[in-house]
């Protein structure tokens, strides 16, 4: 992967910049794997004849892993350091990807859920390590810009994944090539379609193992022990309850994930519907490429804007834009509704990294603990099952009203909730080569 742009170095050293470049490859891979799910879900819905509620449960299991794996991940980082935690995370992901092969051969809905949970647990370990690392490795005033930049490489992975999944999964299956997105499959077709996921996940597992080997051999700078674990007596002098920006930032990430995951998971079903795009799932996956491409572009643009405007102001305008386009998605039809849903990716782009950095702003020695809680809040994506239930009850298009409501909370956080109420003394974070 190419080096990060010099214009966005943000005052970091050459060694730190090299580390961020390698981290960008991790952001790319977990974004890529996460969005393969978006092409996998409509495929599995046809294979296992699932309702929308059952389909979104697949993604809910993925995000439940964030809730259960975040704290163990933080403990593991304390024991073995950031570098080897990333290696372990990649290998866990590879195990989960390989488990998708027997899941497809059986085929088994339960084994699929287990495999996805394992992959997500590995990604959680990477997230707990990488997001706070990027936020604190350079000057605090450029943290939002820096994390948005590296998250743009995550969006690059999410942009390419629909093309990969659409070609190797949807276009090679009977259910993926039916106009209007609805397929009534014979048992033989279901078995054949289930097995079409084997090659993509085998390729993913191989790439993950190679990346784990590269990182294991790389001399990655690591936050030293003093920055990872504050003395117990010193820690007692501080309280997370004094920090409104963190306490309201946790539900902000939780609620934002409901919006982002709801859009991406139900996107292919929505776009392929006869009254919207009237196309096959394979064709709709190409438009999912545009949704995630908008997030990639938005993060690069957002990283640049935050050098001239405050992060909270950029976040406020993004939330207003997202609310407007989601209301158009709910009320319009045909191509207008389709393109308005695609455009929400541009506004969603800067939300997660910006909320994250605003949430840990001013925490000082509490930064690591606050970061872990913010990563745990990613479990909010599990509540996409609520939108699935709304889609079954009131229709898929009407269910996007939930997304619009989520955008309003993000606006509230940007305008008021992110204000720092009790800044701690700045934590002096240095980098030392991990041995």
For 50-102, the DSSP string reads: --HHHHHHHHHHHHHHHHHHHHHHHHHHHHHHHHHHHHHHHHHHHHHHHHHHH
How are the residues of the chain apportioned to helix, strand and coil, as percentages rounded to the nearest 5? 80, 0, 20
Helices and strands: H and E segment counts in the chain:
16, 2
Q: Residues near 31 by Cβ (< 8 Å), separated by ≥ 6?
A: 153, 154, 155, 156, 157, 158, 161
Match 């088994």 to its residue by tokens. Answer: 108
**6 confidence band (pLDDT: 50, 70, 90):** very low
What are the structure tokens assigned to 160, written together?
A: 């390419």
Question: Cα dist. 345→154, 351, 424 in Å?
Answer: 13, 10, 35
In this predicted structure, the answer to whether residue 32 has a pLDDT above a threshold of 80 is yes
Express each pLDDT in 414-434 by its tens digit: 999 999 886 655 444 433 333
Supply angle C-alpha 425, 431, 435, rounded to 5: 135
Report pLDDT for 347: 97
Q: Are 289 and 35 in contact (CB under 8 A)?
A: no
In this predicted structure, the answer to whether residue 56 has a pLDDT above a threshold of 80 is no
Report pLDDT for 36: 75
**169 confidence band (pLDDT: 50, 70, 90):** low
In this predicted structure, the answer to whether residue 318 has a pLDDT above a threshold of 90 is yes
Number of Cα atoms under 13 Å in the Cβ half of residue 128? 34
Beta bridge partners of 143: none
Q: Where are the alpha helices (DSSP H) in 311-350?
A: 311-331, 334-348
Q: Residues near 150 by Cβ (< 8 Å), separated by ≥ 6?
A: 4, 20, 23, 24, 27, 134
Report pLDDT for 35: 72
Of 60-69, 144-153, 313-322, 420-429, which has the strongest mean pLDDT? 313-322
Q: Quick one: what percent of the chain has pLDDT higher than 90?
A: 32
**Residue with the larger pLDDT of the pair 45 and 16:** 16
In this predicted structure, the answer to whether residue 258 has a pLDDT above a threshold of 90 is yes
CA distance linking residue 194 with residue 46, whole number of Å: 10
CA distance linking residue 186 with residue 196, whole number of Å: 16
Of 1-10, 86-95, 140-149, 420-429, which has the strongest mean pLDDT? 86-95
**7 confidence band (pLDDT: 50, 70, 90):** very low
Q: Are 59 and 265 in contact (CB under 8 A)?
A: yes
What are the structure tokens assigned to 247, written together?
A: 């306490």
What average pLDDT does the segment 81-85 reach? 81
**4 confidence band (pLDDT: 50, 70, 90):** low
In this predicted structure, the answer to whether residue 343 has a pLDDT above a threshold of 90 is yes
**Residue with the larger pLDDT of the pair 395 and 19:** 395
Express each pLDDT in 276-291 by its tens digit: 999 987 788 788 888 9
Match 């606006």 to its residue by tokens. Answer: 411
In this predicted structure, the answer to whether residue 158 has a pLDDT above a threshold of 80 is no
In this predicted structure, the answer to whether residue 312 has a pLDDT above a threshold of 80 is yes
Match 């001013």 to its residue by tokens. Answer: 362
Q: Quick one: what percent of the chain has pLDDT higher than 70?
A: 78
**314 confidence band (pLDDT: 50, 70, 90):** very high
Number of Cα atoms under 13 Å in the Cβ half of residue 287? 28
Cβ-based neighbour number of residue 300 at 10 Å: 20
What are the structure tokens assigned to 17, written together?
A: 């910049």
**Residue with the larger pLDDT of the pair 432 and 322:** 322
Express each pLDDT in 182-231 by its tens digit: 455 555 655 665 566 777 788 889 989 998 998 888 876 655 554 455 54
What is the overall mean pLDDT for the chain? Answer: 80
In this predicted structure, the answer to whether residue 163 has a pLDDT above a threshold of 80 is no
Number of Cα atoms under 13 Å in the Cβ half of residue 420? 13
Express each pLDDT in 103-144 by its tens digit: 877 777 888 889 989 999 999 898 887 777 777 676 777 777
Question: Cα dist. 270→90, 261, 264, 305, 388 in Å?
Answer: 33, 14, 10, 32, 12
What are the structure tokens assigned to 331, written together?
A: 């009320």
Q: Are 353 and 144 in contact (CB under 8 A)?
A: yes
Report pLDDT for 105: 78
């Amino acid at each position: 992967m190419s080096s990060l742009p010099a214009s966005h170095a943000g005052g970091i050293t050459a060694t730190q910049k090299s580390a961020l470049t390698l981290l960008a490859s991790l952001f790319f891979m977990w974004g890529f794997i996460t969005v393969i799910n978006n092409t996998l879900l409509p495929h599995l819905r046809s294979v296992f004849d699932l309702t929308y509620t059952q389909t979104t449960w697949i993604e809910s299991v993925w995000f439940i892993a964030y809730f259960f794996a975040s704290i163990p991940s933080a403990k593991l980082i304390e024991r073995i350091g950031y570098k080897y935690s990333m290696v372990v995370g990649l290998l866990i992901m590879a195990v989960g990807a390989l488990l998708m092969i027997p899941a497809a051969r059986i085929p088994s809905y339960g084994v699929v859920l287990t495999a996805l949970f394992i992959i997500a647990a590995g990604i959680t370990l990477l997230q707990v390590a990488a997001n706070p690392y990027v936020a604190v490795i350079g000057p605090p005033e450029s943290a939002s810009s820096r994390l948005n930049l590296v998250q743009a490489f995550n969006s690059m992975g999410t942009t390419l994944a629909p093309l990969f999944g659409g070609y190797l999964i949807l276009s090679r299956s009977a259910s993926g090539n039916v106009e209007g997105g609805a397929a009534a499959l014979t048992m033989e077709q279901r078995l054949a379609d289930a097995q079409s996921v084997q090659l993509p996940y085998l390729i993913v597992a191989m790439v993950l193992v190679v990346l784990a080997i590269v990182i294991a051999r790389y001399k990655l700078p690591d936050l030293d022990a003093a920055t990872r674990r504050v003395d117990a007596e010193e820690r007692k002098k501080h309280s997370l309850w004094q920090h409104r920006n963190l306490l309201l930032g946790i539900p902000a990430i939780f609620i934002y994930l409901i919006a982002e995951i709801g859009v991406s998971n139900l996107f292919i079903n929505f776009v392929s519907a006869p009254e919207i795009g009237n196309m096959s799932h394979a064709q709709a996956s190409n438009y999912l490429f545009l949704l995630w491409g908008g997030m990639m572009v938005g993060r690069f643009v957002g990283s640049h804007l935050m050098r001239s405007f405050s992060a909270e102001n950029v976040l406020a305008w993004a939330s207003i834009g997202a609310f407007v386009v989601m209301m158009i998605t709910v009320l319009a039809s045909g191509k207008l509704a389709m393109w308005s849903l695609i455009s929400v990716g541009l506004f969603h782009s800067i939300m997660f990294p910006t909320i994250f950095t605003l949430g840990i702003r001013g925490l000082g020695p509490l930064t690591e603990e606050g970061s872990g809680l913010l990563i745990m809040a990613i479990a909010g994506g599990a509540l996409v099952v609520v939108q699935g239930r709304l889609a079954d009850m009131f229709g898929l298009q009407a269910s996007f009203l939930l997304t619009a409501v989520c955008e309003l909370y993000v606006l509230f956080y940007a305008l008021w909730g992110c204000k720092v109420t009790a800044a701690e003394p700045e934590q002096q974070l240095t980098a030392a080569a991990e041995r």
